[in-house]
Amino acid sequence: MTPTAASRPATIMTFSQLLTKAVQQKKNSVLVGLDPRLESLPESLRTNIPPKDCVAVSSVFEYFCCRIIDIVAPLVPAVKPQAAFFEQYGAAGMQTLENVIQYARSKDLVVIFDGKRNDIGSTAEAYAAGILGKDSPWKADALTVSPYLGDDSLEPFVKTAVQRNAGIFVLVKTSNKGGGMLQDLQIDGKPLYRHIAEYVQKISLETKPQSGKYGSVGAVVGATYPEQLAELRAAMPNCWFLVPGFGAQGGAAKDAAAAFDSDGLGAVINNSRGIIFAYQKEPFRSQFGEKNWEQAVEAATKQMIAELKS
């Protein structure tokens, strides 16, 4: 049984309310993805770092991500660490991920743990218990979750999210080219992603606080498919959207426009490589170069904010 908003004290701020407040305070919906790659770091940071030295790589990842956080924290409402880039370096990488999450929280950023987790029964409960909420070991405000094991696999995440005033983002229409292999399959006259969207809308509505528009359950919907983005916003009026695909994957501000509601809320637009490695691409490469990579990060963030506002 899906838990409802009644399971939560009315005086406690829900995840949707937390995210709404953060977006309104920063006056933009930019979500900065923390996807550290050793080969993409500025040369000054990766010089003499052996690629197989997990401790050394994790240490430089921590420095890099925390500097990114320092730069973007005054500008944007949220960050999204991608767990895989840390997990590949074993225990040292996982410790770095924990430290980065804690540092982001110390800067009052909303933290979305991008792990795309799921399983059934007690395993799903363990994933949810370990990651969601400020009192969990990982202390994430939200988690990305796959829906393809069915409703009973999502229920433990929803229950924990409601109990801990956290959130989940369910994969509905992803930004990658191959996503359509399953997501676009026609079932009973409509694509599979629409069936998932209807279920996500249902449980988001059930977890919505009385005084708010959005529930604890959001959706991942890519900017690379703007027509489906508009379609899904209409189908899921009570769901926050996490919108990947902006920047390096080809999505532009006009492609993401349909994600927002009439108040300009309801979506956070993710940009990872386009911001954290901005020094590699024009116009920031010419303006700043590798030496001034931190200035390039700030400039790219401000440019994206301006583009979304336009």
CB atoms near residue 253 (< 10 Å): 15
Active-site entry in 21, 27, 116, 208: 116
- The number of angstroms, rounded, from the C-alpha of 230 to the middle of its chain's C-alpha atoms is 19
Q: Characterize 113-136 residue by residue with b for buried, 16 or more Cβ atoms within 10 angstroms of its Cβ, and e for exposed.
A: bbbbbbeeeeebbebbbbbbbeeb
Cα distances (Å, whole numbers) of residue 77 to 1, 30, 208: 32, 7, 21
Q: Cα–Cα distance between 200 and 197 in angstroms, integer?
A: 5
3-state secondary structure of 87: helix
* Whole-number Cα distances in Å, 19 to 1, 165, 259, 268: 26, 11, 15, 9
116 is annotated as an active-site residue: yes
| Residues labelled catalytic | 116
